[in-house]
Amino acid sequence: MDFPTDDNINRMFKMAFCLHPDRKIAIEITRDAILKFCSIQRFEQNQEQESEESQSYKYKLSNEGLMYKSLCTVSENLEKKQEKDRKSKEIVNYRPTLDDMLVRYIKILIY
């Protein structure tokens, strides 16, 4: 199992900060994404060992791809909570601006 390098963690933080321009939130998202990455990687290694005999043809993401997938998943959970609470007029950590919402929309198009 590979743990993300410092360079990978810095890139994950930059992406999280782009999606959530609050330093504390971006750090929390990066931390949670690293934990999620480790659990996904462990799960995929177990699946790989089990499916060696059955010759699975499923495409496997690189570690960097898994890191970004983890970051997007964790970020999306917070985004949905913020958007839901925005409708109910409650503020969760911070209120995303229109620019934040635009960046999130572009992320969805790319992701």
Distance, in Å, from the CA atom of 31 to the CA atom of 71, rounded to the nearest integer, reads: 9
Q: Where are the alpha helices (DSSP H) in 1-111?
A: 6-19, 23-51, 63-87, 98-110
Give domain limits for the chain: 6-110
Distance, in Å, from the CA atom of 3 to the CA atom of 101, rounded to the nearest integer, reads: 31
Distance, in Å, from the CA atom of 82 to the CA atom of 67, rounded to the nearest integer, reads: 23
Average pLDDT of the chain?
78
Residue 1 reports pLDDT greater than 70: no
Residues 50-65, mean pLDDT to the nearest whole number: 67
pLDDT at residue 91, rounded to an integer: 47
pTM: predicted TM-score of the whole model, two decimal places: 0.71
Selection from 25-29, 51-55, 87-91 with the highest mean pLDDT: 25-29
